[in-house]
Amino acid sequence: MAGAAALVNKFHARYPASPVPRVWRAPGRVNLVGEHTDYNLGLVVPMAIDLSCWVAAAPTGSPSSEEEWLRAYSEQLGAGSQWRVEDIPNALPAGDWTDRIAGIAWELSRRGVQLRGANVLIDSEVPLGGGLSSSAALGVALALALGGPRDPLELAQLTRAAEMDFAGVPCGIMDQFVSAHGQAGSAILLDCRSLAWRRVQLPGDIAVVTANSMVKHQLGDSAYRTRVEECREAARRLGIGSLRDAELGDLSALDGVSLKRARHVVTENTRVSRFVRAADSGEAAEMGRIATESHISLRDDYEVSCAELDFLVEAALRVEGVLGARMTGGGFGGSTVNLVHPGAVGAFTATLASEYRKYSGLTPEIHVCLASAGASEIFL
Ligand code: GLA
């Protein structure tokens, strides 16, 4: 495994006195449909992709030494940080990327995992801010490296708790679940209430292609929180625990923003069921249509798209052989996901890149995704 061997070389260069590290990887994800439904306990269809976060880690010092340190360095960011192990239970968020690391260590210690001093090197292929879950991939790989649970569901719950309770991000469970639980060769249907899941096999005449807009608008984080609150408020007005239990007919009791947000969530859950049925019966064109409908709902009712994502979707839909396109992930930048006829991928990539460059001056990173397995240790 060339990637892991290269990581180990970088590890030895950074931590020359360390023993040979162990290596873990956790994939990023693309969500095919079911957006902003996870924290409403609804349905999602994500797929773990062949872009991963890699973590190499080796213990330092002896367990009895007075001062043990957790040291981490990110190759992608060219920056590192360190924490005294005994201080981790009382660590506070710093409001930057180091919270992803401290949060995992803090959550592990909260759950009774005995932390030890360690040197950690992180290298990731998942683009930061690209809407493909770079944070979840880092969290899951790091939790494994620091002695977290091997069971994928427990691992997902732990890394989500770190994100919510330490970093203060009120996210759903989709990203962590699929990074821990991805299935080679297929997407998964996850019910975010029961946590029951199953494979969703994509028809052979669909390629899943992501296009990174290369923008991430600042508004995204606060808008995400606002959407979570707006959905809670809509559910409260409907007298139900979550929008998972709402039906279209109930929504006449709502108006304004509540109505729009709830309408997106209710119709998006229906789109997930339709999408999975279409996948099961090999109806690629129908899957594409549903994906595009999802984008329109996210743009108009949920209001989490942006000009760059809308442009990418519209430009994609003009290309022959594109079955559907939508933003994927939280929105306000990041990536689109395109369902493309495999024979059209070359023309699609060239056309989309050139149109987007003309529009924005930016070169989109376009990636043909392979459905990948969830997180694991890599044995060299
Ligand atoms: C982000 C969150 C997920 C999910 C998506 C939107 O990726 O981390 O939990 O809410 O946005 O579907």
Pairing of strands 118-124, 69-74: parallel
Residue 30 Ramachandran class (φ > 0 left, ψ -120 to 50 alpha, else beta)? beta
Alpha-carbon gap, residue 299 to 305, rounded angstroms: 5
Alpha-carbon gap, residue 50 to 27, rounded angstroms: 7
Between the CA of 14 and the centroid of ligand 1 the distance, in Å, is 34
Between the CA of 159 and the centroid of ligand 1 the distance, in Å, is 14
Alpha-carbon gap, residue 56 to 10, rounded angstroms: 9
- The ligand 1 atom nearest the CA atom of 135: 8
- The ligand 1 atom nearest the CA atom of 173: 9
Residue 276, pLDDT > 90, answer yes
Ligand 1: which of 29, 31, 32, 38 to mutate, judged by most atoms within 8 Å of the beta carbon? 38
Mean predicted confidence (pLDDT) in 276-282 = 98
Residue 20, pLDDT > 70, answer yes
- The ligand 1 atom nearest the CA atom of 171: 9
Query: pLDDT-based confidence at 66, cuts 50/70/90?
Result: low
Ligand 1: which of 174, 294, 295 to mutate, judged by most atoms within 8 Å of the beta carbon? 174
Q: In what order do the strands lie in the sheet with 207-216?
A: 322-328, 333-340, 207-216, 365-368
Query: pLDDT-based confidence at 259, cuts 50/70/90?
Result: very high
Residue 256, pLDDT > 90, answer yes
Beta bridge partners of 83: 70
Residue 219's pLDDT is what? 81
- Answer for the pair 86, 121: CB distance below 8 angstroms, yes or no: no
For 89-110, the pLDDT digits (tens) are: 999 999 999 999 999 999 999 9
Between the CA of 332 and the centroid of ligand 1 the distance, in Å, is 12
Residue 62, pLDDT > 70, answer no
Place of tokens 């929180």: 225
Q: Look up the pTM and report it.
A: 0.97
Residue 218's pLDDT is what? 85
Ligand 1 — pocket residues by CB below 6 A?
A: 31, 35-36, 38-39, 171-172, 174-175, 329-330
- The ligand 1 atom nearest the CA atom of 35: 12
Please tell me the residue having the least CA distance from ligand 1 atom 11.
Answer: 330
Number of helices followed by number of strands (H, E) in the chain: 10, 13
Q: In 3-state terms, what secondary structure has residue 347?
A: helix
Mean predicted confidence (pLDDT) in 103-129 = 97
Q: At what angle do helices 307-317 and 284-300 cross, to 10 degrees?
A: 150
Residue 2, pLDDT > 60, answer no
Between the CA of 67 and the centroid of ligand 1 the distance, in Å, is 38
Residue 380's pLDDT is what? 84
Place of tokens 């960011």: 77
75-83: Cβ within 8 A, 24+ apart: 75/10, 75/121, 75/122, 75/123, 75/124, 76/122, 76/123, 76/124, 76/128, 77/128
Which helix (H) or strand (E) element contains residue 307?
Answer: helix 307-317
Over the chain, what is the mean pLDDT? Answer: 96
Residue 152's pLDDT is what? 98
Beta bridge partners of 187: 200
Query: pLDDT-based confidence at 64, cuts 50/70/90?
Result: low
Alpha-carbon gap, residue 275 to 32, rounded angstroms: 9
Residue 338's pLDDT is what? 99
Ligand 1: which of 36, 47, 169 to mutate, judged by most atoms within 8 Å of the beta carbon? 36
- Answer for the pair 70, 308: CB distance below 8 angstroms, yes or no: no
Please tell me the residue having the least CA distance from ligand 1 atom 8.
Answer: 171
Ligand 1: which of 43, 133, 175, 229 to mutate, judged by most atoms within 8 Å of the beta carbon? 175
Q: In 3-state terms, what secondary structure has residue 32?
A: coil
N residues, the chain:
380
- By annotation, the residues acting in catalysis are 175
DSSP 287: H
Residue 243, pLDDT > 60, answer yes
Angle, CA 186 vertex, CA 210 and CA 341 arms, to 5°: 50
Residue 272's pLDDT is what? 99
Q: Give Cα 32 to chain centroid, integer Å.
A: 12
Low-confidence winner among 63-67, 265-269, 322-326 (lowest mean pLDDT): 63-67
For 338-348, the pLDDT digits (tens) are: 999 999 999 99
CA atoms within 13 A on the CB side of 37: 33
Residue 73's pLDDT is what? 98
Query: pLDDT-based confidence at 1, cuts 50/70/90?
Result: very low
Beta bridge partners of 366: 211
Between the CA of 380 and the centroid of ligand 1 the distance, in Å, is 33
CA-closest candidate to residue 238, choices 226, 254, 227: 254
Between the CA of 172 and the centroid of ligand 1 the distance, in Å, is 6
Angle, CA 368 vertex, CA 374 and CA 75 arms, to 5°: 60
Q: Residue 92: which residues within 8 A CB-CB, separation 6 or more? A: none
Residue 19, pLDDT > 50, answer yes
Alpha-carbon gap, residue 359 to 312, rounded angstroms: 10
- The ligand 1 atom nearest the CA atom of 133: 7
Mean predicted confidence (pLDDT) in 313-326 = 98
CA-closest candidate to residue 137, choices 98, 102, 176: 176
Place of tokens 């940080």: 81
Q: Give Cα 278 to chain centroid, integer Å.
A: 24
Query: pLDDT-based confidence at 212, cuts 50/70/90?
Result: very high
Residue 350's pLDDT is what? 98
Mean predicted confidence (pLDDT) in 332-361 = 98
Query: pLDDT-based confidence at 365, cuts 50/70/90?
Result: very high
Tokens read off for 121: 């090197």
Query: pLDDT-based confidence at 161, cuts 50/70/90?
Result: very high
Between the CA of 3 and the centroid of ligand 1 the distance, in Å, is 28
